[in-house]
Amino acid sequence: MGISGTASALPFTVSIVMLGASAALFGTRVDRRGPRWAMVVATSCFCSGYLIAALGVFIEQYWLVVFGYGFVGGIGLGIGYISPVSTLMKWFPDRPGMAAGMAIMGFGGGALVASALANSLLDGLGRDTAGVSATLLVIGCAYAVFMSLGWLLIRVPAPDWRPVGWESTPHRAESLVSTVSVSATSAIKTPQFWLLWIALCFNVTAGIGILERAAPIFQDFFPTASSAPRLWQWRLRDSWRSSRWPTSRVDSAGRRCPTSSAARTCSGSISVAVLFCT
């Protein structure tokens, strides 16, 4: 389409922005209307985004690519991101860190399959305008099939369901522990919420920034080597870390584990600094 490298990254950037915005706006509706509703909406938006982007590439309308892949697809990405996390945590109330980690591992691990599939399709269909458009069309249809299987098969446990042999233990009364439920509306008015939000913002900004620029970074450091094997190794380690870290830290040491919070904040801050300096 004759666009610059910066312009080619704009659809992905818009998609990530819409991921966060849609997850924040529709997060509470997942609990009220159930994960199946969320996954149907996510499937419709995410796959429609690919189809709109395919049309945009075919007729060489860049704004359609940004609107489809970035805006529409990003909404589906955000809603689809939160529904499996909340559902798995209901099935594993005794291991919430493991449940969330497994869902996030699938998010990162899916890049392994999607990247290989996209490269294979581009090699077979061509890397010209028609080939890229056909690749987006095929991937969008494939996502529609597998995501539809997800919302057809998903189930939530009964409200009074508990794992065998597990009993919920009440929180100890401490000055920093609340024993009452806090709504989302009330939570955003507390300084604790915004401090956690800032820490997560740095961490996610660094992670998404590196994810989007991983291939060029590897090529800059290793110009004579293929970046594909190194990207596979990095994504495998990222998937393993996504499942192992919450299990070993959150489930065993608790959510207020100072080591976990400090490590994530420091790693995010350092990675953001490195991105701006490179």
How does pLDDT run across 92-146, given as a tens digit for each residue?
Answer: 887 877 777 777 777 767 777 787 788 889 889 988 889 999 999 999 999 999 9
Same domain, 18 and 123: yes
Token readout for 141 is 């249809």
Report the CATH number at residue 120. 1.20.1250.20
Sorting pLDDT into bands at 50, 70 and 90, what band is 237?
Answer: low
Sorting pLDDT into bands at 50, 70 and 90, what band is 222?
Answer: low
Average pLDDT over residues 165-192: 70
3-state helix, strand, coil in the chain (%, to 5): 80, 0, 20
Q: Output the pTM of the full model.
A: 0.75
Same domain, 204 and 275: yes
Instruction: Judge contact between 82 and 30, C-beta under 8 A.
Output: yes
Same domain, 210 and 137: no
Q: Is the pLDDT of residue 243 over 60?
A: no
Same domain, 3 and 141: yes
Higher pLDDT, 151 or 239: 151
pLDDT at 72: 95
Q: Helix 227-245 vs helix 96-125: angle between axes, to the nearest 10 degrees?
A: 160
pLDDT at 46: 94
The number of folded domains in the chain is 2
Task: Provide, rounded to the nearest whole percent, the portion of the chain with pLDDT above 90.
Answer: 21
Residue 202's domain spans which residues? 183-278
Higher pLDDT, 199 or 73: 73
Same domain, 8 and 55: yes
How far apart CA 68 and CA 87 sit, in angstroms, is 28
Tokens 């594993």 sit at which residue? 92
Q: Is the pLDDT of residue 79 over 80?
A: yes
Asked, for residue 196, whether it belongs to a domain, the answer is yes
Burial of residue 237, with CB atoms counted within 10 A of its CB: 0-12 exposed, 13-18 middle, 19 or more buried? exposed
pLDDT at 149: 92
Q: Is the pLDDT of residue 267 over 70?
A: no
Asked, for residue 244, whether it belongs to a domain, the answer is yes
